[in-house]
Structure 1
Amino acid sequence: MRLLVLAVGRMKQGAEADLAARYLNRVSQAGRGVGLRSIEVVEIRESRAQDAARRKLEEAIAIANVIPDDAALVLLDEQGEALGSAAFAETLARWRDGGQGSVVFVIGGADGIAETLRERAKITLSFGPATWPHQLVRIMLLEQLYRAVTILSGHPYHRD
């Protein structure tokens, strides 16, 4: 199964970019042992439209153009469902074992995610009710993907 993280906005150089790269590398290396073919992060350019509705629409079009046809779509949103790490790992395993070709995680722009994408999502995840900077959401997602991979491989990284 292929994992794809679509993130609106650029990750600037610095400590956040280094940490994101570290977790991306860990997921890539450990994921092969549990049936993850690849993981890739694609940055989507932020819209420069004047109004929020137009920005969301333009970003949604750019995101939709990158989503593979066979993908399960997962949105990251503060109003989504908060899954524990074990439940997150079980969800990935269920999709992998069910023959899901790709899973796409979307981190929307500052104005949120357009309704057209929300309608396509299998699940919407939250890292809590707080508003997080997009760079930190990317890091937290990559860390949770790494944690899920270690849970699925039986590694003691995660403690119950």
Structure 2
Amino acid sequence: MKFKLVPAAPDAFDFVERAQRAVPLVPGTEDDCCARLMDRLDLPSRDVARTWLTFLRALELAEETPSGFRRTDVDPTVTGCRAALLDRVFAAEAVRDALDTDDPRTADDVFETLRGSVPVWERHKNPSRWESIWRDRVGDLLSWLVLLEAADRVDDGDGPARFVRR
């Protein structure tokens, strides 16, 4: 199963560690877990907290049980989270593969490379906004790839951020 929801990447990896610790050891309801995430991480809304809870599941740092959501005993590491992101998050591997090691690419460049592979159902779900939604998604995935050391951000101070594959 591939997960689709990806929050904006934090500035530092320790936020991921804090997010995992905010999920209870004893299973709790989605509402309880989201409340804990909002409270402990100062997240702005329940929707953002729910996105984080889903993303932690994708990274194998939380799981859904018959009794609710709980944190796993997996220690969050950059290497482990990078492998889970590429394997379990929809389009993450394609975004990474769209990067070159020598020719920096913008998020728009990467989106244009992936445009044809965006599922038809995604296009029909938001027909007037699917492109902007997917441009944002590509940007978020690029930021995660940088945080998880699969890509580098290359800024020359002129124009939009550009990225290369590590």
Q: Tell me whether the two structures share a fold, i.e. TM-score over 0.5.
A: no
- Point out which structure has higher relative CO (alpha carbons under 8 A, 6+ apart): 1
Give the TM-score normalised by the residue count of structure 1: 0.29
Give the TM-score normalised by the residue count of structure 2: 0.29
Higher helix share: 2
Question: For the pair shown, which has the larger CA radius of gyration, 1 or 2?
Answer: 2
